[in-house]
Amino acid sequence: MDRKQLWTDFTARGLIPQPNQATQDNIFGTGVGQKRAYEVYKVVHATLTSNVDREIDYDNWSQIVSNQPTNLRSSLSPKKNVKACADCVPVLCYFFLNIHLSGKSQVDGVVAAELNNTLTFADISEAKRILNYIYLNTWTRAYSPSEDQGNNPIVGGISERLLELSMGSLVDGVDLFKTNQNDTMSYGDFILMCLPNNLWISVKTQYSRERLLASGFSNDLVGVGFFTDISEFTSLDKIRNFKKAGFLAIYLPDTPVDPEQFSQQINTYDEVNRYFTDNTIPMPVNINGTPFLRKISELGSDFKRLKLQPVQKRSAINF
């Protein structure tokens, strides 16, 4: 990773703003926690500016902090303030070593730097590839026990943020919108206005079959997530349970989504499809006779086709 070139590029594009009052007001904010994150940013920016390699090894952060004024050290030392700084200027994920930054900051950094601040389902493969590349260039040593324990929430956070931004490209707030009310959130995360029933979308991350089934209330449902365990989707009994719960389709990742899949260059959808082919079993269909297991990269086009129809004629019967 050429961090020197990335620094030059990101700075020229305004992705790494100069520390000043406008940056504090417009990017960080004026709350107590936001002010602390901004104090961290001033040190991070100065350190990266003076470092010819344009990188900060978090293992050396305490030493960096010790060189700062005494009255600022209590704001600079906590790891949570460093993470909050990266949440505000997410492309910093390219320049830190040996620290788990939040899934949100990593995804937002990649989307801002590489994808023009827009993420669609068709972009997920490229986003995942870049995120994996950043990960491989972030850690120069083995995890500590606490870092190892903290890795799984980060992976889940990355998946949730990718799906949230991808769904955001389809959401218009009228025909397709995110569910925010407590009395409806248990049905699903998004809803598309349809006939004869509205189409609910349940977004999950990896090992989430039980969480998916918990969304089922015999409504018309669609499940989407970065599932990696193919056994959850090759059992006809389990598929039957999904259908009984009201699922019309489950969208599986058709690109690698974790380090193991990247190393083998495999993906969940292809592995599930291969299982059914090798065992001469037809791929499952839903109650409408259309494919039950689908590629996550096709979710956007599937929903766009439905949204093109006026709501009075928009039917989930052929979905």
Task: Report the SS3 class of residue 200.
Answer: strand
DSSP state of 30: S
| Boundary (domain end) residue, out of 149, 168, 187 | 168
Residue 85 in tokens: 């700084």
Q: Are residues 162 and 199 in the same domain?
A: no
Question: Does residue 318 sit within a domain?
Answer: no
pLDDT (tens place) for every residue of the chain, 319 residues total: 899 999 999 999 999 999 999 999 999 998 999 999 999 999 999 999 999 999 999 999 999 999 999 999 999 999 999 999 999 999 999 999 999 999 999 999 999 999 999 898 878 878 988 998 898 899 999 988 888 877 767 877 787 788 888 877 778 878 888 777 655 556 677 888 888 888 888 877 655 554 555 444 557 899 888 888 899 899 999 999 889 888 999 999 998 877 788 789 899 999 999 999 999 999 999 999 999 999 998 888 898 888 888 888 888 888 8
Question: Does residue 126 sit within a domain?
Answer: yes
Residue 309's CB is within 10 A of a number of other CB atoms, namely 13
Q: Are residues 56 and 194 in the same domain?
A: no
Question: Does residue 159 sit within a domain?
Answer: yes
Our count of domains for the chain comes to 2
Q: Are residues 208 and 126 in the same domain?
A: no
Residue whose structure tokens are 């950094």: 109
Q: Are residues 231 and 129 in the same domain?
A: no
| Contact of 192 with 206, CB cutoff 8 Å | no
Question: Does residue 133 sit within a domain?
Answer: yes
Give the Å distances, CA to CA, from 124 to 149, 276, 280. 26, 25, 31
Residue 303 in tokens: 């929903």
Residue 243 in tokens: 């259908």
| Boundary (domain end) residue, out of 168, 195, 228 | 168
Q: Are residues 192 and 117 in the same domain?
A: no
Q: Are residues 27 and 111 in the same domain?
A: yes
| Boundary (domain end) residue, out of 126, 144, 168 | 168
Q: Are residues 121 and 181 in the same domain?
A: no
Q: Are residues 9 and 151 in the same domain?
A: yes
Q: Are residues 13 and 151 in the same domain?
A: yes
Q: Are residues 140 and 197 in the same domain?
A: no
| Contact of 293 with 283, CB cutoff 8 Å | yes
Q: Domain of residue 147: give its range.
A: 3-168
pTM (whole model) above 0.95: no
